[in-house]
Amino acid sequence: MTAAPEDPAVRRYLATLDRLLDGSPERALVVDGVAQHITDALADGPADAHRVRTVLDELGDPAAIAAEAGAPAARPAPRFLERRSGAVWTVLLLTVGNVVAPFVAWLVGLGFLWFSRGWTVLDKIVATVLPALLAAVLVLASGLLASNGGGFGHLALLAGLVLGAVASAVLLLVRFREPASVPPVQ
């Protein structure tokens, strides 16, 4: 680490830069490089307030340097539910999870679905009601067949729920979009 001139404005500038780079893997190298730059730029003359201000002005806004470093403060990572892995977990809970832990996994999956910003409201509504809707249609069809001598009541209910869950899963996986991140500070 290079000792930058002990000027209050320089110390403030470097402290701001260091804080803005919190979480960046390049934090130490960037702060060290900028501190060295200030030392070198002031080396061949008196470090008076006017020259210090000129050097800091030419370095530019610390926020612009942090943005160039891609610091997470300027570009937050998407939350778990907004990432693709979160979407896959939601779908697994609504399908496979519902077989392993019936109803409980489905409720948790619905919670994930409705809290995520990765789908539109229409996607969420369709994915929520599709299994029940298909089951109802098939049970109704089965009832009509029963009146004609056929019929497959329980099987129709099960087939509707399974088909509906699979259709919802495909819909959710196709329609998932990671929400746009906040643009970096320029």
Positions that interact with another protein (CB under 8 A): 2, 25-26, 29-30, 33-34, 36-37, 39-41, 43-44, 58-62, 64-65, 68-70, 186
Q: Which is nearer to another protein, 71 or 169 (CB)?
A: 71
Distance in angstroms (rounded) separating the CA atoms of residues 9 and 177: 45
182: burial class by Cβ within 10 Å (0-12, 13-18, 19+)? Answer: exposed
Of 12, 11, 13, 1, nearest in space to 60 by CA: 13
Min. distance of Cβ 65 from another protein in angstroms?
4
Distance in angstroms (rounded) separating the CA atoms of residues 180 and 151: 50
Q: Which is nearer to another protein, 33 or 72 (CB)?
A: 33
Residue type, 38: I
Distance in angstroms (rounded) separating the CA atoms of residues 153 and 43: 88
Min. distance of Cβ 88 from another protein in angstroms?
31
Q: Which is nearer to another protein, 61 or 73 (CB)?
A: 61
Sole residue written with tokens 């994930």: 112
Q: Which is nearer to another protein, 30 or 91 (CB)?
A: 30
Min. distance of Cβ 60 from another protein in angstroms?
3
CA distances from 116 to 5, 106, 173 (A): 49, 15, 13
Min. distance of Cβ 59 from another protein in angstroms?
4
Min. distance of Cβ 184 from another protein in angstroms?
11
Distance in angstroms (rounded) separating the CA atoms of residues 175 and 160: 22
3-state secondary structure of 67: helix
Q: Which is nearer to another protein, 65 or 130 (CB)?
A: 65
